Amino acid sequence: MSVRSLLMVALALILGGSAAVMVNSFMRSHDPKSAVVPVVVSVPVVVAVVDLPRGASITPEAVKIKEFPRELVPAGALSKLEDAVDRGIFVPLTKDEPVLESKLAPKGAGRGLSALIPSGMRAYSVKVPDVAQGVAGFILPGNRVDVLLSLGEISGTNATGGGMTTTLLENVEILAVDQKMDAPSENKVDTKDLRSVTLLVTPQQANRLDLGQNKGMLHLALRNLEDNKDAQTKPATLIDLRPPPPVPPPLPKAPEPPPTVSIRTIRGVREGAVLIQIPSVSSASQQQAGALGARN
């Protein structure tokens, strides 16, 4: 066999082998059985079995363990049932929702409204029937409000015109409406049944609320939950509501005296002066018109 024939056979073998390797690689990459399956690491997470309202206490039957991919576990999720049982709920939980540490009251805080009160804060109930009439019953637990105080005349003075309204507290959270610590399904409270609103305040704010409801009338102004800025309002008085007094018409200007001319006089050795008034153009015109009328 010639050298040329040997080279042709060798080249054919090389090309054939390369093609076989490429086809084999292509087939392996598209074969599901030969594909590399990534390993998913699961971890235990405590989830709610049923919907749990705000203020409720978690029972052993209300939660369970569910496996979650590690990368999908939210921050603060509990991994043991004993870490969730017998703790109060700050934020309502829905079915199959992971139970987070931030949504629960501290261990040993008990159940009910007291479990929702952070350390150093107070729950104060405003027992005024019409406290929420200004927002037509749309005051719900979890909302934030400004507390307005209306007062009559102060100390017998007349500085306010008979009464005033001022912003007593700002951005206060509502813990409960009457005995309800969770918002009703219709997201509205019947104002006929409304008797009290419980607010989360500091001890000093509780003092101001107590004095305010004993000396005046309290009302609530509903806030957007994302609005945390100070309102920077000033007290409104009855004087502010009165229309401004009418501006009196300007007084008519007094007519200016006509100009005068001094004429020097000499009588013998005696000198004197005579003042003569020069009539204005309008006066001269009036006199001339009067003379013409008398002629006619």
Whether residue 81 sits in one domain with residue 127: no
State whether 175 and 237 are in the same domain.
yes
Q: Are 168 and 134 spatial neighbours (Cβ–Cβ below 8 Å)?
A: no
User: Residue 118: is its pLDDT beyond 90?
Assistant: no
Please indicate whether residue 21 or residue 283 has the higher confidence score (pLDDT).
Answer: 21
82 and 125 in a common domain: no
Let me know if residue 103 belongs to a domain.
Answer: yes
Here the tokens at position 289 are 């018109």
Same domain, 126 and 221: yes
Domain's final residue, options 192, 226, 241: 241
The alpha carbons of the chain give a radius of gyration, in whole angstroms, of 46
Work out the pLDDT band at 136, boundaries 50, 70, 90.
low
Q: Which two tokens stand for residue 11?
A: 């080249």
Cα-Cα-Cα-Cα dihedral of 138, 145, 92, 112, to 10°?
A: -100
Asked if residue 73 lies in contact with residue 45, where contact means CB atoms within 8 angstroms, the answer is yes
Hey, which residues does 94 pair with through a beta bridge?
none
Task: Point out the domain boundary residue: 58, 83, 115.
Answer: 115
Tell me the two tokens of residue 155: 């100390």
Indicate whether 123 and 234 sit together in one domain.
yes
Q: Where residue 7 falls among pLDDT bands split at 50, 70, 90?
A: low
Question: Average pLDDT in the 45-66 region?
Answer: 90
Higher per-residue pLDDT: 18 or 178: 178
Residue 273: which residues within 8 A CB-CB, separation 6 or more? 262, 263, 264, 265
Position 26 in a domain: no
Final residue in a domain of this structure, among 50, 84, 115: 115
Candidates 121, 139, 120, 202; CA nearest to 169 is 202
Q: Name residue 114's amino acid.
A: S
Q: Same domain for 63 and 128? A: no
88 in the same domain as 57: yes
pLDDT of residue 64: 94
Whether 127 has a pLDDT exceeding 50, the answer reads yes
Q: Is there a domain that residue 29 lies in?
A: no
Q: Is the Cβ–Cβ distance between 24 and 36 less than 8 Å?
A: no
- Residues 232, 122 share a domain: yes
Q: Are residues 70 and 182 in the same domain?
A: no
Residues 237 and 129 reside in one and the same domain? yes
Is residue 151 in a domain?
yes
User: 60: domain range?
Assistant: 42-115
3-state SS assignment for residue 80: coil
Q: Is the pTM of this model over 0.75?
A: no
| Backbone phi and psi for residue 162, each to the nearest 5 degrees, phi listed first | 125, -10
**Alpha-carbon span 67 to 43, nearest angstrom:** 5
Number of domains in the chain: 2
- CATH number of 81's domain: 3.90.1210.10
β-bridge partners, 148: 167, 219
